[in-house]
Structures are given as structure tokens and as C-alpha cells.
Amino acid sequence: MVAKTDRDAIKAAYEAVAKHGSVMAAAKENGLPYETMRSRYQRAMQLYNKPDIRSSARSLAREPISKPWSETEEHNSALVMEIPAIKDGVGIVFSDCHWRSLSQPRSLSHEALLILARHIKPGFLFCNGDALDMGAISRHPPLMWADNQKPNVAEELAAGQTHLRELREAAGDPTCYWIRGNHDDRYDKHLAAHAAAFEGMGAFSLQDQFLDWPMTYRLDVGDVSFVHRYHGGVHAGYNNAMKAGRSIISGDTHALDVRPLNHWSKRIYGVQTGMLADPNWPQFNYRLGIPGHQQQGFVVLTWRDGALAPPETCEVVDGAAWFRGQVICGRVRIKAGRG
């Protein structure tokens, strides 16, 4: 049986989607997470044999509508979210912020992101995973004694909420999406493992803490897909695009890289979005001082006539953040041997 209050919510969701012709627009107007609205809308079609009345009748979950519902089935976020292809617009994608507390100064790439957001005023912001570090609830043991002094969850949430709000305000209130990463998932996994009896209570999931940032594990924007991680290794960007047959925007590796491919009839890109965090922060002590492919920076994406233009990187090099040949912030440090 479905409780009366649940039936009312399901009916209201269907009416809201009918009004706007879009799950996303209905969710925004009602202040609900995207996935909550989508689930209620699909359930209304199941329970009451209602037709799909979205203006663009596409499955937003890659699941057949006829899939049987469990009376207790709920999801914190969609596995796959689709939005229409962007015809003309600009988006900034950043990842691997690993924010821990507001007492930790912004990284240089974070400062550059705020500056470019104010200048470019992108229509879209894509957080490509691991915005939070969640070291206090990590399954990994402390590396050393000092590593025990990890900020608690409340500090990390405050940092994430503050930084994302500042970024959204700097960009002029664009459309925002959050592609979940493995560090982000520590929040819900810890609660599911240690407090499962509280499932369904308000503000219990990570999505409930960031209502302005609809969350998913894969975001398809036309023929461009955003994921936190797919393939790994030094050739991750190339392998992602080659094996998917479409442009793939990924994080996780902390590498900043754009790999173009000519894939049959179209040009596609394998993009790794770097890290907004400073690689010298203590949360990366696990590298034991060994350098790797990690690189501070982020990526600017431009669509023209529905096609993705060559992605552009903002990269921190020698103490300065560079974009289109100009120093955005910081100061270039001249090293010995560079003249």
C-alpha cells in the first residue's frame, strides 16, 4: 500500500511536470532534488496509468517506465541524467576540490575559477566530483599522527556550501550540476552502513545538503558525457573518448588534459579536468612526496551551433594561473635555468 501523503506527493509531482513540461523545471520550482521529482513522476505514471506528458519525451533515467516499483525503493541520485544538447553556451567544469574546512585558504586554481566565473558568466557550472574530501569518515586508516586531526563532517559541509554558493553568485546564477565522485559518496555510504534506520528522514542524504546542485553519476549533455571516473592511467582521457565514441569529461585522476580524436564522422575529446585543490594540501600526504600527473586547474567548454568547440584549460604553472596566454592570478616564479 502507498500512504495517502505519498499519493498526494506523487500526484503533485505529476501535475508540476505537466505544468512545466520538464522534470528539472518542476523540481526547481518546488525546491526538490531532481531525482525525487523524477521518481515521483515515474511512480505517478505507474500507479495511475498516466501518459508521459513531458515536452521532450525522453527517459531521464535510462530505465524502462514499465520496471516494477518496490514500495520501499528510493534513490539518493540518478545513475544517469540527460539534459538537451546545448546549442550556444559556455560552461566551466571543475573537479577534485577536496574541500575540508573554511579555515583552509583557497587554492590558486580556486581563485582563478572565481575570477573567470565573474568575467565569463557561464551559463553552466559542472562540478565533476570529489568536491568534498570526507577524510574523517574514510575507510582508510590515518597515514600518520598528524593525519588524525581531520575536520569533521560539519566543517566539510560548511566549506562546500560556502564555496559553491560563492561560485554560483560569481557566475551570475547559472544552471549547476554535480557529478558525484568517490569521496562525495563517503557521506551516504557511511550513513547507510552505520545509521540505516534513519533512511528517509529530511536532510539525511548529501543531495539534501546541496539542493541547488542536482546530483548524478553520469550527465549526458547531448553527445557529451560527464563522469567522475572511467578509465585510469596516463592515457585515461584518450581511452575514455575512444571507447565511448563520444566526448567524455572526467575527473578523479587529478590530471589536466585535453585529447582530441577523429572518430569516424566527428571530432571528439577526452578531457580530464585537473584538480581545484592544491596538491600540497595534507589530504594528499598519501603520495609520500612523490610527484605524479596531478595538476591544478579546470576546463572551459564552449558550444556553438550544438557542437562542442575545442575545450580550453586554465592551468596553474610556476605560481600563476594561466588562461588563453594570460595570467589570471598569482605571480610567475622564475626558476633557475629559465632565463
Considering only CA atoms, which of 315, 318, 321 is closest in space to residue 332? 318
In this structure, the chain runs to a length of 339
Q: Hey, which CATH number is domain 83-330, 3.60.21.10, 3.40.50.970, 3.30.1120.130, 3.10.20.30?
A: 3.60.21.10
pLDDT of the residue at 339? 37
What predicted TM-score, i.e. pTM, was given to this entire model? 0.74
Grid look-up 584538480 returns 275
> Which residue type occupies 98?
H
Structural domain boundaries in the chain? 4-75, 83-330
CA distance 71 to 133: 34
Cα gap 121→112, rounded to integer Å: 13
Cell numbers representing residue 196 in the block = 540505516
The pLDDT assigned to 286 comes to 73
C-alpha cell at 238: 584518450
Asked whether the beta carbons of 34 and 214 are under 8 A apart, the reply is: yes
- pLDDT tens for the 339 residues of the chain, in order: 445 567 888 889 889 988 888 888 888 888 888 778 877 887 887 777 777 777 543 333 333 333 333 333 333 346 899 988 999 999 999 999 999 999 999 999 999 999 999 999 999 999 999 999 888 776 666 665 555 567 889 999 999 999 999 999 999 989 999 999 999 999 888 888 888 887 777 778 898 889 889 999 999 999 999 999 999 998 999 999 999 999 999 999 999 999 999 988 889 999 999 999 999 888 777 777 777 889 999 999 999 999 999 999 999 999 999 999 999 999 887 655 443
In this prediction, residue 24 carries a pLDDT of 81
Q: How many CB atoms lie within 10 A of CB 230?
A: 19
pLDDT at 332: 80
Place of cell 546564477: 173
What pLDDT score was predicted for residue 125? Answer: 98
Question: What is the H or E stretch that residue 113 is in?
Answer: helix 108-120
Q: At what angle are helices 4-20 and 23-30 packed, to 10 degrees?
A: 120
Distance CA 11, CA 331 (A): 57
Instruction: Give the pLDDT confidence score for residue 138 in this predicted structure.
Output: 66
Cell (9 digits) for 59:
527517459
